[in-house]
Amino acid sequence: MLEVIDLTVAYGPVVALHGISLTVADSSITAVLGANGAGKTTLVRTISGLVRPRGGSVRLDGRDISRLAPEEIARLGVAHVPQGQGVLAELTVDENLRLGGLWRRDRKGQRGALAEAYELFPPLATRRHLAAFTLSGGERQMLSVGRALVARPRVLLLDEPSLGLARRALIQIMARIKALVAERGLTVLLIEQNARSALSVADEGIVLHLGKVVAQGRAQQLANEEGLRHAYLGY
Amino acid sequence: MNRFVVLTLNGLTQGAIYAAMALALVMIWRATQVINFAQGAMAMFTTYLALFAIDHGAPFWLGFTVALLSGFVLGGIVERVIVRPVESAPPLNVVILTLGLLLFLEALAPMAFGGQIRSFPPAFSIVGLRFGNAQIAFSPFDAFTLGGVLAVMILLLVLFQRTNLGLRMRASAFSPEVSRLLGIRVGRMLTLGWALASLVGALAGVLIAPSLLLYPTFMDQVLVFGFTGAVLGGLDSAAGAVVGGLLMGFALNYVGGYLGSDLETVGALVILIAVLMVRPRGLFSSQRLRQV
- Cβ-based contacts of B167 with chain A (< 8 Å): 91, 95, 98-99, 102
CB burial readout B131-149, b (16+ within 10 A) else e:
eeeeeebbbebbebbbebb
Average pLDDT over residues A129-135: 94
**Cβ pair A95:B289 closer than 8 A:** no
B179 burial type by CB count under 10 A (0-12 exposed, 13-18 middle, 19+ buried): buried
Whole-structure pTM value: 0.90
How far is Cα A34 from Cα B238, in angstroms, rounded to an integer?
46
A227: distance to nearest CA of chain B, Å? 37
Average pLDDT over residues B175-180: 94
The per-residue pLDDT for B291 is 40
Do B168 and B184 contact (CB within 8 A), yes or no?
yes
**Cβ pair B180:A50 closer than 8 A:** yes
CB burial readout B214-240, b (16+ within 10 A) else e:
bbbebbebbbbbbbbbbbbbbbbbbbb
The per-residue pLDDT for B292 is 35
- Cβ-based contacts of B286 with chain A (< 8 Å): 90
Interface-testing mutation among A72, A102, A110, A144, with chain B (most B C-beta atoms within 10 A): A102
pLDDT in tens, B262-277: 888 787 788 888 888 8
Average pLDDT over residues B190-217: 95
Q: Does B174 touch chain A (CB under 8 A)?
A: yes
How far is Cα A182 from Cα B59, in angstroms, rounded to an integer?
66
* Of A74, A90, A98, Cβ closest to residue B181: A74
**Cβ pair A99:B171 closer than 8 A:** yes
**Cβ pair B171:A103 closer than 8 A:** no
In the stretch 64-123 of chain A, residues with CB closer than 8 A to chain B read 69-71, 74-75, 79-80, 82, 86-91, 95, 98-100, 102-103
CA closest to A74 among chain B residues? B183
CA closest to A49 among chain B residues? B181
Q: What is the mean pLDDT of chain A?
A: 91
Residue type, A46: T
> Which of A179-183, B214-218, B233-237 is the least confident region?
B233-237
Q: Does B186 touch chain A (CB under 8 A)?
A: yes
Interface-testing mutation among A88, A104, A144, with chain B (most B C-beta atoms within 10 A): A88
Give the residue among B43, B99, B28, B16 at the shortest CA–CA distance from B218: B43
Q: What is the mean pLDDT of chain B?
A: 90
Do A101 and A110 contact (CB within 8 A), yes or no?
yes
* Of B185, B289, B290, Cβ closest to residue A71: B185
pLDDT in tens, A56-113: 999 999 999 999 999 999 999 999 999 876 899 999 999 999 999 999 888 888 999 9
Q: Which strands form A63-64's sheet, in the order they lie side by side?
A: A14-24, A2-11, A55-60, A63-64
CA closest to A94 among chain B residues? B167
> Which of B87-91, B105-109, B136-140 is the least confident region?
B136-140
The per-residue pLDDT for A86 is 87
User: SS3 for A169?
Assistant: helix
Give the residue among A131, A160, A141, A140 at the shortest CA–CA distance from A44: A160
**Cβ pair B164:A74 closer than 8 A:** no
Give the residue among A211, A230, A232 at the shortest CA–CA distance from A54: A211
How far is Cα B13 from Cα B23, in angstroms, rounded to an integer?
15
pLDDT in tens, A74-86: 999 999 999 876 8
**Cβ pair B171:A75 closer than 8 A:** no
Which are the contacts of A200, defined by CB distance < 8 A and separation ≥ 6? Answer: A219, A223
* Of B174, B183, B186, Cβ closest to residue A91: B174
Is the complex ipTM higher than 0.85? yes
How far is Cα B6 from Cα B25, in angstroms, rounded to an integer?
29
Q: What percent of chain B has pLDDT over 70?
A: 97
**pLDDT higher than 70, residue B87:** yes
B97 burial type by CB count under 10 A (0-12 exposed, 13-18 middle, 19+ buried): buried
